[in-house]
Amino acid sequence: MSQFLVLLVAVLAVDAAMASASRLQYGYYSQTCPQAEKIVRDVIGRNRMREPRSAASVMRLQFHDCFVNGCDASLLLDDTPNMLGEKLALSNINSLRSYQVIDEAKEELELACPSVVSCADILIMAARDAVELSGGPCWEVKLGRLDSLTASQEDSNRIMPSPRANATYLIDLFKSFNLSITDLVALSGSHSIGQARCFSIVFRLYNQSGTGRPDPNMDPTYRKKLDHLCPLSGDGNVTGDLDATPRVFDNQYFKDLVNLRGFLNSDQTLFSGNALTGELVRRFSRDQQAFFSAFVEGMVKLGDLQSGQPGEVRKNCRVVNKPAESGSYQVWVLNDKRMK
């Protein structure tokens, strides 16, 4: 009998470093997967040609991922019998879309460089590409994020803001992530592209703050248009444009807010509900370059949010790696004398 007790200790995801912001680097994949950024860009571009709205839908994913326990692709995990994921959280159900675009990028990356590029990084690259392909600014992204081992529907429900939110609430929420009032207003400018559902605005059209009246901060002609699109007790899944140029990333969104033509209450409140955010809306409505620079700064800060939890590089963005295929088992050989 061996005097050594050989223990095989399976340690889940041991190679997983702690995910810290200091890990993030420019050119993180330049040696291990030099074609990564091009692969993602091509997939986003191809999907945008096929379905223009997908650019907006994909860039929104960064916000909903990063606010809930950091940018760790927790958002992308499907529910399992033991875990309620974030896809069915209040702000995400019947609303977030284009998950299959991220899957497509992941599949191509797995063919080119298996188990190298994290889903969390794909979301960051995809959001950047979606903005640039829509006519917005371009910027370099830091990479090296890890994918979470779990997700939290409860945290998403607690954190993600409602379209009814007022400016004060949004200022405080963003502040809790060290994001400034400028970051809040600039990042809300992402509503320069995409659409939202009637479900998200009917209270505003017919019963703002329980008054039984519409939001007074709405241009009457625009309100007529929205009343027609979203009749009381109509189909909540019908969608309308978030600004007058929903496929172009520009400062039209801010011009619309100044003209009381904001779609969501959480948009219009930035102009109508607070003097500080209102001044920034006015500035961005006049100066697209100022908007673009503030937006890039906000996106970089948003992308820096990290959970500090261990992670891995998933093979499939929808599921945590199975221990057997993770390649992250370690075999520890322990001397039994030392154990006593």
Ligand X SMILES: *[C@@H]1O[C@H](CO)[C@@H](O)[C@H](O)[C@H]1NC(C)=O
Catalytic positions are: 64
Site string for ligand HEM, 5-24 (x = CB under 6 A): --------------------
Q: How far is CA 235 from CA 53, 54, 159, 205, 228, in A?
A: 20, 22, 27, 14, 12
Residues composing the chain:
340
Q: Work out whether 20 is an interface residue with ligand X (CB under 6 A).
A: no
* Dist. CA 209–CA 6, nearest whole Å: 67
Number of amino acids touching ligand HEM (CB under 6 A): 27
In the list 70, 85, 136, 194, the residue contacting ligand HEM (rule: CB under 6 A) is: 194
Which partner, ligand HEM, ligand X, none, binds residue 212 by CB below 5 to 8 Å per kind? Answer: ligand X
Minimum Å distance from CB 157 to ligand X?
15
* Dist. CA 79–CA 87, nearest whole Å: 8
Q: Work out whether 44 is an interface residue with ligand HEM (CB under 6 A).
A: no
Minimum Å distance from CB 304 to ligand X?
8
Closest CA to 20 of 308, 304, 311, 312: 308
Minimum Å distance from CB 152 to ligand HEM?
19
Structure tokens at 293: 């620079």
Closest CA to 138 of 148, 128, 126, 147: 128
Q: Which residue is nearest to ligand HEM (CB)?
A: 194
In the list 134, 188, 245, 269, the residue contacting ligand HEM (rule: CB under 6 A) is: 188
In the list 199, 229, 297, 318, the residue contacting ligand X (rule: CB under 6 A) is: 199
Report 129-158 residues binding ligand X (CB under 6 A).
none
Structure tokens at 331: 């075999």
Compute how many other C-beta atoms are within 10 angstroms of the C-beta atom of residue 33.
Answer: 17
**Of 88 and 113, which has the nearer Cβ to ligand X?**
88
In the list 36, 40, 44, 56, the residue contacting ligand HEM (rule: CB under 6 A) is: 56
Compute how many other C-beta atoms are within 10 angstroms of the C-beta atom of residue 149.
Answer: 19
* Dist. CA 25–CA 312, nearest whole Å: 17
* Dist. CA 30–CA 16, nearest whole Å: 20
Q: Which residues of this protein are in contact with ligand HEM, per CB under 6 A?
A: 53, 56-57, 59-60, 62-63, 95, 97, 161, 163, 165, 170, 187-188, 190-191, 193-197, 199-200, 242, 264, 266
Q: Which residues of this protein are in contact with ligand X, per CB under 6 A?
A: 94, 166, 168-169, 177-178, 199, 207, 210, 212, 235-237
